[in-house]
Structures are given as C-alpha cells and as structure tokens.
DNA sequence: CGGATTTGACCGGCGC
DNA sequence: GCGCCGGTCAAATCCG
C-alpha cells in the first residue's frame, strides 16, 4: 500500500460551488490531503473522486457519509506512505491518538511519529524528539484546579494522553485561524530551533483543547500546529470579521465521547476548519496548506522520523 | 476597563 | 542526585 499512499493526496482546485464562502483554493478530502494553491493539478482518485467538500463536511465524510471510508481511513491511518516520492519536501502532518493501543505502527518511513514532538521534529529534523512521553492527558480542565489537576495526573500515574494531531501549514502567520478562540498562555524556546513554540488554550469554558504552534526551523515558511484534546463545543459563531473564517460552515461538531466513534475519526473531526472549509481569512498572508496526511500514531510507534530523503 | 499577550518563574519527568 | 527540557502559571503589560 505504500504505493497507494499517494492516492490520499487530493489536489483540490477551486471549489466555486458556493459563493464567497469558498473562495479559497484549499479544500481537503480525507486523511491525507495536499493543499495546493495552484489550480493546475487536480488529482482524483478512485476513493476520493466522489468527495466534494462543498457538499459534504469533512466530518461527515469521515463519519461515513461516503462509502468506502473504513478502508479509506484504515488506509489513511495505517498508511504506509511512500510520500517521500510524491512529496519529498513537504511536511507530513501527524495524528496522534491517545490511549489507543492498537496502533498500526505505521510501517512506513515517511509518516511515523509517536508524538507531536516527533512530528515537529520531522519538520525540524530534530531527533531528540522522543521525549513525547511525558505527555499526559487531562480529562477536564478546571481553571480553579489546574495545579491540582497537574498533580492529580501525576499521582494517578500516567494517564492516557489526549488525542493529538499535528499538521504543517505553509503560512507566514504563526497562529492560523481555525474558527475557535484561543488564548495564548505560554511561549517557550524550542531546542534546536530559532523559533519559539507558542501554547494556546481554547477560551471556551471547560473546553480542554490546547494547541501548540511552532515554526519549522528547516522550513521557516512552515508552521507546525499541534492540537491536543477535543472540543466539547461548537465553533463560536459569534466570531467577528477576522476571527471567523467565512467557511466555518464546515465546523466540526463537538466531539462527544461516543464510544462508537473511533479515536482517529474524532481526531479527524477536530481538524481546523480551514483545512476543509474553503475559506481563507488570511488573504494577505496566503497561507498555503501544502499537504495533509494523517496517521494514527501511538506510543508504540518509534519516533523515527524519516527525514525527507534526498 | 476587560480581555489578550508577554515573559520569567516554577514544576515534574526523564536521562545521565 | 543533578541538570535539562517541556509545559504551565501568573503577574505585568498591552491593546482595543
């Protein structure tokens, strides 16, 4: 299937299906996506060609509105990509599902990461990213009990990590708008990188979602965003102007802990709207989503991050 | 004035 | 045990 991996790249030219909402050139399909700003390449593959983001939200898509997704997702998450050939230089976003155990340890070289750090490392070429183990999850995040929470999770031993996924975006702005409201709560220098990492928390009350944003030091034009946790609310609709991408119509539903929804699908549903909506509020900055591919990653996966060979 | 950001301090985990 | 590092806190500051 390594060869098939390229199938998951989906070059989506302009979706002019709708009006101003979908003005941008980016749209996504499925677990692995190539965002392309140029309209030249349109690659429809068997399992993708029925997908039209303008009709179907990514979430719906993931949740089975389209046929053949199981296999699709399986493929996507177990992907054994030879993306290296397809997109050598491009970054490989990663999904990390927490708590899972049955990881299909991505057999492959291109996309394998046991942690977000690894993902970042992939972009940054940093190998000592195997420190992702200290990741711990928070079930809830009470403002009043953050410290206690921290201690609690330590006391109780290691908890399952929050589901996380990272993706890389070509953009000049660090903090890409995704429809949610975030509050920055920290910034740290990243080892082996001149660029700092910023920490954001969803400002919605009780929402435990956090994200980290850093810039790839190998490719400064690439921003690595790592989401952690699941939103328990809808995308704020009261966002004004530049706060809300016009295309939040594809906002993912709040992720309910429905046991029926596989973790990886939940993760996918967490994708920021701009990944699958077709609006781009950063006109001036022209973020370009180079590509997107997901794989279910878990601790068992060696954080070996193949540097894009070449 | 309220909310967001900045930034140094602090804490815990991990490797040596 | 110690030092490094990632992640978080929280006071100070900024900004609309």
Q: What is the tens place of the pLDDT at every residue in A46-67?
A: 333 333 333 333 333 333 333 4
CB-proximal positions of chain C, under 7 Å: 5-10
Q: What is the tens place of the pLDDT at every residue in A232-259?
A: 777 765 544 444 444 333 344 444 444 4
Residues A35, A289 contacting (CB under 8 angstroms): yes
CA of A207 to C1' of B1 (A): 26
Whether the per-residue pLDDT at A304 is higher than 70: the answer is: no
Residues 193-222 of A with CB under 7 A from strand C: 197, 199, 210, 212
Q: Is residue A269 very low, low, confident or very high in pLDDT (cuts 50, 70, 90)?
A: low
Residue A6 sits at φ, ψ, to 5 deg, of -60, -15
Q: Is residue A292 very low, low, confident or very high in pLDDT (cuts 50, 70, 90)?
A: very low
Q: Is residue A193 very low, low, confident or very high in pLDDT (cuts 50, 70, 90)?
A: confident
Residue at minimum CA to C1' distance from nucleotide B10: A147
Whether the per-residue pLDDT at A213 is higher than 80: the answer is: yes
Tell me how far apart the alpha carbons of residues A281 and A274 are, in angstroms, rounded to a whole number. 9
Tell me how far apart the alpha carbons of residues A6 and A44 are, in angstroms, rounded to a whole number. 11
CA of A71 to C1' of C1 (A): 51
DSSP chain A: -TTGGGGG--B-----SSSGGG-SS----SSEEB--SSSS-----TTTTT--TTTS-HHHIIIIISTTHHHHHHHHHT----HHHH-SSS---EEE-SS--------SSSS--SSHHHHHHHHHT--TTTTGGG----S---GGGHHHHHHHHHHT-PPPPPPEEEEEEE-S-SS---SS-EEEEEEEEPTT-SSEEEEEEE-STT---EEEEEE-SSSTTEEEEEEES--SSPPPS---GGGS-TTGGGPPPP----TTS-HHHHHHHTS-HHHHSS--S-TTT--B---EE--EE-TTS---------
Question: What's the predicted TM-score (pTM) here?
Answer: 0.54
Write out residues whose CB is closer than 7 A to strand B. Answer: A 130-131, 133-134, 150-151, 154, 158, 181-188, 198, 203
Whether the per-residue pLDDT at A287 is higher than 90: the answer is: no
Residue at minimum CA to C1' distance from nucleotide C5: A191
Closest nucleotide relative to residue A134's CA, C1' based: B13
Q: Once rounded to an integer, what is the mean pLDDT over residues A201-227?
A: 84
Percentage, residues of chain A above pLDDT 90:
3
CB-proximal positions of chain B, under 7 Å: 4-9, 12-15
Q: Is residue A262 very low, low, confident or very high in pLDDT (cuts 50, 70, 90)?
A: low
β-pairing verdict for A210-215 and A296-297? unpaired
Whether the per-residue pLDDT at A75 is higher than 80: the answer is: no
| Predicted pLDDT at A271 | 54
């Amino acid at each position: 299937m390594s060869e098939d991996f390229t199938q998951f790249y989906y070059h989506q030219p302009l979706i002019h299906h709708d009006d101003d909402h979908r003005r941008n050139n980016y749209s996504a399909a499925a677990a692995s996506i190539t965002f392309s700003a140029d309209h030249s390449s349109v690659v429809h593959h068997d399992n993708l060609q029925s997908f039209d983001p303008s009709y179907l939200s990514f979430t719906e898509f993931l949740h089975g509105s389209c046929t053949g997704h199981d296999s699709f997702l399986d493929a996507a998450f177990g992907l054994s990509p030879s993306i290296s050939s397809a997109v050598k230089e491009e970054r490989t976003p990663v999904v990390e599902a927490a708590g899972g155990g049955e990881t299909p340890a991505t057999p492959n070289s291109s996309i394998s990461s046991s942690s977000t750090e690894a993902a970042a490392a992939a972009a940054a070429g940093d190998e000592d990213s195997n420190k992702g183990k200290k990741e711990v999850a928070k079930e809830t995040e009470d403002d009043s009990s953050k410290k206690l929470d921290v201690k609690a999770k330590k006391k109780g031993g290691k908890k399952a990590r929050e589901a996380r996924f990272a993706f890389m975006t070509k953009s000049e702005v660090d903090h890409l708008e995704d429809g949610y409201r975030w509050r920055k709560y920290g910034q740290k220098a990243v080892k082996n990188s001149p660029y700092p990492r910023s920490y954001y928390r969803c400002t919605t009350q009780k929402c435990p979602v956090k994200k980290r944003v850093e810039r790839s030091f190998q490719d400064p034009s690439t921003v690595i965003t790592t989401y952690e946790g699941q939103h328990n609310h809808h995308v704020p609709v009261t966002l004004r102007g530049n706060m809300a991408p016009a295309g939040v119509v594809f906002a993912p539903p709040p992720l309910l802990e429905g046991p029926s929804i596989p973790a990886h699908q939940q993760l996918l549903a967490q994708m920021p709207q701009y990944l699958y909506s077709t609006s781009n509020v950063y006109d001036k900055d022209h973020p370009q989503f180079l590509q997107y591919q997901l794989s279910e990653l878990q601790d068992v996966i060696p954080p070996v991050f193949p540097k894009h060979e070449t």
